[in-house]
């Protein structure tokens, strides 16, 4: 059986990364950015203060964003027009009702931009067939852990680009 087909039929492919430094976080973000394509959705999960926004900023920097990158906590969404891609960064922590997401441009974002979503649990109904989900947590020593799950064509990309876990 082809390994790529095996993973796609068995559900999400999972990779685990220890993020013991800001540099490790930036390196993972660069790897994720390098295999992202227009139309991608990347869900960023985890408790407050675990590094979701830091990771989103690192993805934007990896893609060439030179402008200031504020947290969208209060605005709910920030957009960045890069040379060949629009990146939509949603922070849904303060979303009052799930239906509000459409007013923020979710449908437009997912057509041909790169969509980063912090607190995707607020819109649990939104689960595109092809997406990545990164859950950030702390280990008992206070180091960060990132668990990356690939759904749909993300499984193939994780295999083809040899994005290997480091634990």
Task: Classify residue 167: in a domain, yes or no.
Answer: no
Residue 166 lies in a domain: no
Domain presence at residue 90: yes
Does the residue 37 lie in any domain? yes
Residue 36 lies in a domain: yes
Give the structural domain span for 34: 3-160
Task: Give the three-class secondary structure for 120.
Answer: helix
Q: Which long-range contacts (CB under 8 A, 24 or more apart) does 122-125 make?
A: 122/92, 122/93, 122/95, 122/98, 123/92, 123/95, 123/98, 124/98, 125/98
Q: Is 76 contained in some domain?
A: yes
Count of structural domains, the chain: 1
105: in domain: yes
Residue 165 lies in a domain: no
Read off the CATH number of the domain in which 105 is found.
Answer: 3.40.50.300
Q: What is the pLDDT along the chain (167 residues), one digit of tens a residue?
A: 333 333 334 578 899 999 999 999 999 999 999 999 999 999 999 999 999 999 999 999 999 999 999 888 889 999 999 988 999 999 999 999 999 999 999 999 999 899 999 999 999 999 898 999 999 999 999 999 999 999 999 988 988 888 776 65
């Amino acid at each position: 059986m082809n390994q790529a087909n095996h993973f796609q039929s068995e559900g999400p492919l999972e990779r685990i990364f220890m993020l013991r430094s800001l540099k490790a976080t930036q390196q993972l973000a660069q790897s994720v950015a390098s295999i992202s394509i227009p139309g991608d959705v990347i869900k960023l999960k985890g408790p407050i203060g675990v590094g979701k926004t830091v990771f989103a900023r690192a993805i934007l920097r990896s893609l060439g964003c030179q402008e200031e990158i504020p947290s969208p906590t209060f605005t709910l969404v920030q957009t960045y027009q890069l040379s060949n891609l629009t990146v939509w960064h949603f922070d849904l922590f303060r979303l009052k009702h799930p239906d509000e997401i459409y007013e923020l441009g979710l449908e437009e974002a997912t057509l041909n931009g790169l969509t980063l979503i912090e607190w995707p649990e607020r819109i649990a109904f939104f689960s595109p067939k092809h997406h990545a989900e990164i859950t950030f947590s702390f280990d008992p020593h206070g180091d960060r852990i990132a668990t990356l799950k690939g759904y749909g064509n993300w499984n193939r990309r994780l295999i083809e680009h040899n994005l290997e876990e480091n634990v």
